[in-house]
Amino acid sequence: MNKPWRLLKGWDHLVSTADGLAVDDCLAHTVSEQGSAPILHLYRFKPSVIVGKYQDIEAALNLDRCRARGVEYNRRSTGGGTVIMGERVVALGFGISLDHPRMNRSINAIFRVMSSILIRALKNLGVEAVFRPKNDLEVEGKKIAGLSASSEVGSGILFHCSMLVDFDIPLMLDIMNVPAEKNYEKGYNCFSQRLTTIERELGRPVSMDEVMEAIWRSYEEEFQVEFAPDELSPWEKVKVGELKVSRYEDPRWIFSQRHPRNRMGEALRKTRGGLLQVYLSLSGSIIEQVIITGDFFSSSADINRIESVLKWTPAVKQHILDNLGSVWTEEIIYGVEMEELAETIVQARINGFAAA
């Protein structure tokens, strides 16, 4: 009989970013160094905002607003962009060995298997989600969950997911620095058209218990295992303490300067379909965030997909075209050619570099 997998149930209270993130990092350590069975950590953060490992926190966030509103900020060890966490957002950390047969020693397998688990969990709740490149789950073009991962230690992998049960958009706009902020509340960029939540999709209140159970049961189904509720071992408690001191309580980690330089850029272009406006947030020469707007005709879902596929792509024409090509269909933006959009994005990068 297989050893049960371990479930750390942490959603009956709200945890600090340092506690939650240190436990997550410990998962990969204990799987790799202590031979632990795979561990699922399901929990909730205090109101907080967490940037990706190599993001520029001071460019991404309005730290004064965070402090004024009592919102914690921190930096996680996995990649990707900023996430707003809180009592109505699922925080998920999962530690497993790359050597597990289902992981096939492949990072692509991890994202595929984890997406499939979370899509099933949402389906069992009544929400039809799909994977959206590069690393989100979406419902009809609106993001409902974000995925990220790291393989820092030996064969251990840490997988992270944040999933929205309910969400405070005004808070997000207040504490994050986003390109073209003033445009967010109109047209294609309205946040209510970019994000969705489990409650919004179901049109009813949903308890965190219900969501968490759907998730761990979906893991059990996918891997054909059973979870046993568990606590951290003494070794793990020591490790969590070390990780808090060396990372999540240390300003040198939180304000780490080991990241590419952040820049913003924008460009306008008149096209047959109307005015095209592109706003970029660049991490070095990589697109961290892109906003496409204007008075052309398209759908929010299509614009969201285009923006999403461009994230974490070098702002270089050929890379942009390669990524656009994976989602582009004729007249996806009426009267705008793929080539024109790519050139406008490159121009926004050039303008951003010139302004810096």
Partner 1 sequence: MAIIQEYNMPDELYYHEEHSWAKVESDGTVTVGMDDFFQKEAGDIVFVDLPSEEDEVEQDEVCGKIQSRKWIGKLCAPISGEITAVNEALEDDFSLINSDPYGSGWVIKIKPSNLDEDLGNLFHGSKLEEWIKAEIKRAEEEKAKAG
Question: Where along the sequence are the contacts to partner 1 (CB under 8 A)?
Answer: 52-54, 77-81, 104-109, 111-112, 134-135, 146-153, 258-260, 283-286, 312-314, 316, 319
In angstroms, the Cα distances linking 183 to 173, 257, 293 are 11, 30, 9
Nearer to partner 1, 67 or 252 (CB): 252
Q: How far is the CB of 105 from partner 1 (least distance, A)?
A: 6
Nearer to partner 1, 9 or 53 (CB): 53
Q: How far is the CB of 344 from partner 1 (least distance, A)?
A: 20
- What's at 61, amino acid-wise? L
Nearest alpha-carbon partner for 85 in 24, 127, 128: 24
66 with 111: CB under 8 angstroms?
A: no
Which residues, 6 or more positions from 159, have their beta carbon under 8 angstroms from its beta carbon?
78, 92, 93, 94, 95, 96, 110, 114, 147, 148, 149
Q: How far apart are CA 239 and CA 23, in angstroms?
A: 8
Nearer to partner 1, 46 or 100 (CB): 100
Nearer to partner 1, 271 or 285 (CB): 285
Nearer to partner 1, 110 or 121 (CB): 110
Cis, peptide link before residue 134, omega less than 30° from 0:
yes
Other C-beta atoms lying within 10 Å of the C-beta of residue 326: 9
Q: How far is the CB of 154 from partner 1 (least distance, A)?
A: 9
Q: How far is the CB of 14 from partner 1 (least distance, A)?
A: 25
Q: How far is the CB of 81 from partner 1 (least distance, A)?
A: 8
158 with 77: CB under 8 angstroms?
A: yes
Q: How far apart are CA 275 and CA 231, in angstroms?
A: 57
Q: How far is the CB of 236 from partner 1 (least distance, A)?
A: 21
The torsion angles phi and psi of 168, rounded to 5 degrees, stand at -105, 90
Nearer to partner 1, 4 or 284 (CB): 284
